Amino acid sequence: MTTLAGASILVLGASGGLGSEIARLLAAAGARLILSARYASAVEALRIPGTVITADLAKPAEVDELVAAATRVNGRIDGIVIAAGIVAFGPAATLRDDTLEKLFAVNAFAPIRLIRSAHSALAASAAAGREPFVVTISGVVSENPTANLAAYSASKSAIAAFGRAAARELRRDGIRILDARPGHTETGLSSHPIAGTAPRLAVGYQPDLVARRIVDAIVNGELDLPSTAFSA
């Protein structure tokens, strides 16, 4: 069992539909949160207890600085939840370079850089007898790449693959990586894509229920949350 009370946890995408629900549950469990999003006002409006740090995940230097700043808040990092992400719709044949580059910058490269930058802090947490973790949310598209979401699927598959491999390395340092792959969730992400227009989607999972499943997995020491873990 992983203890959340008193744990110093960084939540990326804290203003989003899923990130905010996860943050609320972690705060209710007594975690000391560092809440990150691109705009501070969006996080502050949610009134979730924690320290707000802004970062543009498309900029590598800001990812490294985010980890450094988050570590200074409580003197350590015991967990990271990466709930930030962007989406784009449209055929693969018409994909623009700038869309592809931004998808991978935010959905793949930023989480990879974050895990790399946070390694020392997380290893120190493990050495101190805590149970540090990183949660990635690659979603069902990393299991089943979807037509008209080819680039988005690829960017999410990239972080899922990185996490699986890195998890085998980092467990030697006492660090757990947990990837969650829920199906379509009503977070509002599809309503503001960086390219294209969302097709008509079936009603998705409710964010609070997906968040609860992810937080339960953190507490219970789970190593993987496939799409089937979120079945009704």
pLDDT tens digits for range 24-81: 999 999 999 999 999 999 999 999 999 999 999 999 999 999 999 999 999 999 999 9
Mean pLDDT (whole number) for 168-187: 97
Q: How many CB atoms lie within 10 A of CB 60?
A: 14
Mean pLDDT (whole number) for 203-223: 96
Please report the pLDDT score of residue 232 as a whole number: 58
**Phi, psi (degrees; rounded to nearest 5) at 38:** -75, -35
**Phi, psi (degrees; rounded to nearest 5) at 176:** -105, 135
Confidence of residue 201 (pLDDT cuts 50, 70, 90): confident
Across all residues in the chain, what is the average pLDDT? 96
**Phi, psi (degrees; rounded to nearest 5) at 178:** -120, 120
Residue 222 confidence (pLDDT) above 80: yes
Please report the pLDDT score of residue 214 as a whole number: 98
Nearest by Cα to 82 from 126, 5, 23, 125: 23
Q: For the chain, give me the number of helices (H) and strands (E)?
A: 7, 7
Measured between alpha carbons, how far is 72 from 47 in angstroms, rounded to an integer? 22
Contact 180, 226 (CB under 8 A): no
Residues counted in the chain: 232
Mean pLDDT (whole number) for 160-189: 97
Confidence of residue 9 (pLDDT cuts 50, 70, 90): very high
% helix, strand, coil for the chain, step of 5: 50, 15, 35
Measured between alpha carbons, how far is 107 from 110 in angstroms, rounded to an integer? 6
Mean pLDDT (whole number) for 106-128: 98
Contact 43, 15 (CB under 8 A): yes
Strands 32-37 and 51-54, how do they pair?
parallel
Q: Give CB contacts under 8 A, 24+ apart, made by 69-76.
A: 69/34, 70/10, 70/34, 70/36, 71/121, 73/8, 73/32, 73/34, 74/8, 74/32, 74/34, 75/8, 76/8, 76/121, 76/124, 76/125, 76/128
Please report the pLDDT score of residue 231 as a whole number: 79
Question: Rounded to 10 degrees, what is the CA torsion of 227, 30, 134, 142?
Answer: 20
